[in-house]
Amino acid sequence: MDGLVDFNAASAAEAEALLLSCCRSLRWAERVAAHRPYPTLDALLAAADEAGYDLSRAELDEALAAESSAPPLPGAPPAARTALRAAHAAYESSFGHAFVISLDGVRPGERLDRVLVGIRSRLGNEPEEERVVAADELRRLARARLAFRLSEGLPGGPKGLTRGHSEA
Burial of 71 (0-12, 13-18, 19+ CB in 10 A): exposed
Task: Give CA–CA dist 162/88, Å, rounded.
Answer: 30
| pLDDT for res 153 | 59
Alpha helices (H) in the chain, listed in sequence order: 2-9, 12-20, 26-34, 41-53, 57-65, 78-95, 108-122, 127-151
CB 90, CB 116: distance < 8 Å: no
Task: Give CA–CA dist 44/64, Å, rounded.
Answer: 22
| pLDDT for res 154 | 53
For the chain of 168 residues, list the mean pLDDT of each consecutive stretch of 10. 88 96 96 97 97 95 92 82 93 96 90 93 97 97 95 54 31
| pLDDT for res 165 | 27
CB 123, CB 94: distance < 8 Å: yes
| pLDDT for res 68 | 92
| pLDDT for res 166 | 28
CB 19, CB 28: distance < 8 Å: yes
